[in-house]
Structure 1
Amino acid sequence: MTSAEILVDGFMRVQEEVHAAVEGLSLEELTFRVDEEANSISWVIWHLTRVQDDHVADAFGLEQVWLRDGWQERFGLPFSPDAHGYGQSSNDVAEVRADKDILTGYYDAVHAQTIQQVEKLTDADLPRVVDQNWTPPVTLAVRLVSVISDDLQHVGQAAFVRGVVLRRRG
């Protein structure tokens, strides 16, 4: 298995879990918060998708799917176009009221752009520095593994909230 195939496999696992986290849930269930400061499934899936979109687009010199394909308008959020969830308030979390179709539509579009870039990688591409703002500087390999790790942690949070929601259904 090549490095590119391993990375593609990781991103495929994220996609599977994103779909599993939202499947069969109503808008009310997707926006349920365990308490007033907690994140909803809708916000968590939006956030992990925004981060993947931002980081992958930056690493490959592409336009974000969020802007290029009109997802910003479809979500209709009162945030800056470059917002992706870091540092947002509880009130901001409450603003993300997206249903399953918009969440998975946006995720799948970002996933497609990600796979299109990652499947072409060679081992020689992976040491390329993509972010000088860290010590040591971040390479493409580190950035992609970091995105997979972050996405899986967040989709795990969404799965936890999904479990709470399903228990409340009775």
Structure 2
Amino acid sequence: MDDKVTVAQLLVDGYDRIRQEVQDTLTALSPEQLAYAPAPGSNSIGWLIWHLTRIQDDHIADVAGLEQVWTAGGWHERFELPFDSSDTGYRHQPEQVAAVRVPSVQLLLDYHQAVFSQSRQYLAGLSERDLARIVDDSWDPPVTLGVRLVSVLSDDLQHAGQAGYLVGLLSRVS
């Protein structure tokens, strides 16, 4: 029996950890609590989870040559946000962050699960050789698939941790 862990298994595990953190963070929150931010102009719980999910959706769809779940699954319409369907939250100003009012926790969880499912399906088919493929030559050095996937993983885990921290703060102030 071969005990070797493949690149695909490792990546799926890493992205599943994001999914688990998101699920644990959002459990038992209300839509009002999703809007909690510790100070005016700072990121809310809902914005952090929406943004990390949009980044994963955008970046994985791009490298996989797929349509984003956000548009393909009609999530853009369901969230009813005042942004273009291509908006991921990158470089949002405080007023844009405040405009992200998620209608329900379940909607956010369902969107994240749909993104994870598409990501998982793509990641599960990768081999070590795939990681060297250049996916963005606008940088110096050009960005490989491996670097892009680790970048998304890192960014998403940071935002999930920030959201979890805010849930802890919220329990202290309410």
Pairwise TM-score range, normalised by the shorter structure: over 0.9
Spell out the pairing of 1:81-120 with structure 2 (5 A cutoff). 81-98=85-102, 99-120=104-125
Q: Which runs of 5+ in 1 are unaligned?
A: none
Listed as ranges, the matches of 1:1-170 within 5 Å are 1-98=5-102, 99-169=104-174
- TM-superposed deviation, 1:47: 0.3
Deviation at 1:27, TM superposition (A): 1.1
Q: Percent identity?
A: 50
Deviation at 1:39, TM superposition (A): 0.6
Q: For 2:76 and 2:32, how far apart are their aligned partners in 1? A: 21
Q: Name the amino acid aligned to 1:134.
A: W
Deviation at 1:24, TM superposition (A): 0.4
Deviation at 1:129, TM superposition (A): 0.6
Query: Cα deviation per residue 1:93-149 (whole Å; 9 max; x = unaligned)?
Result: 111111211111111000000000000111111111111111111111111111110
Query: When the two structures are superposed, what TM-score results if normalisation uses the length of structure 1?
Result: 0.97
Q: Quote the Cα distance in structure 1 between the aligned partners of 2:167 and 2:106.
A: 16
Find the residue that maps to 1:35 and give its secondary structure: coil
State how many pairs are aligned: 169
